[in-house]
Amino acid sequence: SYFYEGLPKVPEGINAELEKPFTKGELYDALKTMECGKAPGIDGIPRVAAYELQEGSNHPFAEER
């Protein structure tokens, strides 16, 4: 597509790293940085619910590392 012409591309080695599944630790760290009382993100789940749901659960997008 014309829009993408001339844009830099992500190197293959870095692209493979970016496509890895999230770890539980990464998900937990991301949840800790979210502010309480703010509007939910694009997924519609408020921080309080996401934080409570992640406790003791196996997130489908995470893997143990």
Is 47 inside any structural domain? yes
Give the pLDDT confidence score for residue 57 in this predicted structure: 56
Burial letters for 11-43: b for 16+ Cβ neighbours within 10 Å, e otherwise?
eeeeeeeeeeeeebeeeeeeeeeeeeeeeeeee
Spatial distance between the Cα atoms of 16 and 19, rounded to a whole number of angstroms: 5
Sign of the four-CA dihedral 61, 29, 14, 65? negative
Is 12 inside any structural domain? no
Give the pLDDT confidence score for residue 2 in this predicted structure: 84
Is 44 inside any structural domain? yes
pTM value is 0.47
Is 5 inside any structural domain? no
Is 62 inside any structural domain? yes
Is 56 inside any structural domain? yes
Is 2 inside any structural domain? no
Residue-wise pLDDT tens digits, 2-46: 888 999 988 888 988 888 888 878 877 887 787 777 777 787 877
Domain count, the chain: 1
Domain range for 53: 22-65
